Amino acid sequence: MSQNKKKNISPKQDQYQQLAQKHEKKRPVIKNCIKAFLVGGFICVIGQCIQMFYYTFFDFTQRSASDPTVATLILIAVLLTGFGVYDRFAQFAGAGTAVPVTGFANSVAAAAIEHRTEGYVLGVGGNIFKLAGSVIVFGTVAAFVIALIKTVFIQWGGL
């Protein structure tokens, strides 16, 4: 706890915090990291298999198969979220399901499902991007800044 916050607590509160820390269950950080790494990697392997499927059986190149691959992963994640499977899977995997695009799809779909009782406009429409909105805004701003920098460098001949 920071020093500023420690100054504002009473001795009884400090005693309680020490007791709570003594009885707090230790988190298996290494185990959680390994599970997150393996599950996130497994999701990426599934994505790679889907991409190979698209450019093997359809008229896609390796580069052009990435868009339908991402769309397929998003569709699978949204369906699994709707059926309640993705949340149980995420409980086991932790951050491994949050890093790939499927985690983003899950956050959007879960917010929509959670607020559907409030109506489609105020419930779903108003809350669907609560968590994901900041990611979308940051991604859009970052893409704009990078495109601007790239344009300046191309315009000025690689300064």
Q: What is the pLDDT along the chain (159 residues), one digit of tens a residue?
A: 555 555 677 888 888 888 888 888 888 889 988 998 998 899 889 999 999 999 999 989 888 998 999 999 989 998 998 898 888 888 888 888 877 788 878 877 877 777 777 777 777 777 777 766 777 788 889 999 999 998 888 877 655
pLDDT at 118: 74
At 58, is the secondary structure helix, strand, or coil? coil
pLDDT at 159: 54
Residue 15 lies in a domain: no
Residue 35 lies in a domain: yes
pLDDT at 158: 56
Domain shared by 145 and 90, yes or no: no
pTM of the model: 0.67
Residue 11 lies in a domain: no
- Looking at the 3D structure of the chain, how many domains does it have? 2
Specify the amino acid at residue 3. Q
What is the phi-psi region of residue 45: left when phi exceeds 0, alpha when psi lies from -120 to 50, beta otherwise? alpha
Domain of 96 in residue numbering reads as 29-128
Domain shared by 147 and 100, yes or no: no
Domain shared by 51 and 118, yes or no: yes
Residue with tokens 């997150």: 36
pLDDT at 3: 54
Domain shared by 138 and 123, yes or no: no
Domain shared by 115 and 38, yes or no: yes
**Helix (H), strand (E) at residue 40:** helix 29-57
Residue 104 lies in a domain: yes
Domain shared by 117 and 138, yes or no: no
What tokens appear for 126 in the block? 């108003």
Domain shared by 69 and 140, yes or no: no
Residue 24 lies in a domain: no
